[in-house]
Amino acid sequence: VDPLDGTTNFSHSYPFCGPSIGLCLGDEVLVGVLADPFRDELYFASKGNGAYMNDLHNTGTPQKLSVTSVDTLHKALFSSGFPHDKESQMFKNMLERFIRLEYESHSIRKTGSAALSLAYVAAGRIESYVASGQHSWDMAGGILIVEEAGGKVTDFEGHPYTMGTREWLISNGALHDTLVELLKID
């Protein structure tokens, strides 16, 4: 449970933050729920049952979510997340990756909320979220939502994620192999 993913955004009155809940059994996410209180959106998924979005009061008909089919980097919109320690090697590596993505993609956003970035991949608003330094509580609520919407979640090398993963590659699936190659650090 992350009661408020995007706390820095919240502390600056930047309206891109919200609660994130993931029910996990070991490394497997069984249920994911995210909320964007500023857009009145509730995202949810349960294993094997698809991913959906509805209003926060759950009064409308849930909209089934689906990732985009964009398969070329120069048409793709990305979101990214960085480690907090700007002196760490993890930060320096992520900066190198960010520069590569900037050159190859349509554009990149640094949104400040991992959970809502995953929701945006699932909703087809962006093609990928590339992040380094995020903990499982930042990601668990959104992982299943992305997967149930047809996306893919791994580490930067394309290996299956665990709840100990710190470098995350979330995509629409169509771009995943290309991104694994692009993100390699020698």
Which pTM was predicted?
0.95
- State how beta strands 77-81 and 128-132 pair: parallel
Q: How far apart are CA 171 and CA 113, in angstroms?
A: 16
**Tens digit of each residue's pLDDT (9 = 90 or more) over 1-21:** 999 999 999 999 999 999 999
- State yes or no: pLDDT of 57 exceeds 90: no
Q: What is the pLDDT of residue 28?
A: 94
Which pLDDT value is given to residue 58?
76
Judge whether residue 88 has pLDDT over 90: yes
What's the pLDDT score for residue 17? 97
- Report which of 143, 154, 131 is spatially closest to residue 20, judged by C-alpha positions: 143
pLDDT in tens, 66-85: 999 999 999 999 999 998 89
The residues, ordered by sequence, that sit 6+ positions from 179 with a Cβ below 8 Å of its Cβ are 73, 128, 130, 169, 171
Query: What residues have CB less than 8 Å from 86, skipping those under 6 apart?
Result: none
Q: What is the pLDDT of residue 10?
A: 96
Tell me, what's the pLDDT at 75? 98
For 64, 118, 145, 171, the CA distances from 71, given in Å and listed in that order, are 21, 18, 20, 10
Q: Decide: 107 and 22 in contact? Cβ < 8 Å.
A: no
Q: 117 pLDDT exceeds 90?
A: yes
| Res 181 pLDDT > 90 | yes
* Rounded Cα distance, 94 and 82, in Å: 7
When pLDDT is cut at 50, 70 and 90, the band that residue 56 belongs to is confident
The pLDDT, as a whole number, for residue 46 is: 98
Give the model's pLDDT for residue 59: 83
Task: Delimit the domains of the chain by residue range.
Answer: 1-186
> Which CATH number among 3.30.830.10, 3.40.605.10, 3.30.450.20, 3.40.190.80 corresponds to the domain 1-186?
3.40.190.80
Write down the mean pLDDT value for the chain.
Answer: 95
- 28, containing H or E segment: strand 28-36
Confidence band for 60, pLDDT divided at 50, 70 and 90: confident
Q: How far apart are CA 159 and CA 149, in angstroms?
A: 20
State how beta strands 128-132 and 152-154 pair. unpaired
pLDDT band at 65 (very low <50, low <70, confident <90, very high): very high
| Rounded percentage of the chain residues whose pLDDT exceeds 70 | 100
CA separation for the pair 54, 63 (Å, rounded)? 6
**Chain-centre distance for alpha carbon 181:** 19
Please state the rounded mean pLDDT for residues 122-131: 98
Question: 89-114 in b/e burial notation, b at 16+ Cβ within 10 A?
Answer: ebbebbeebbebbeebbeebeebbbb
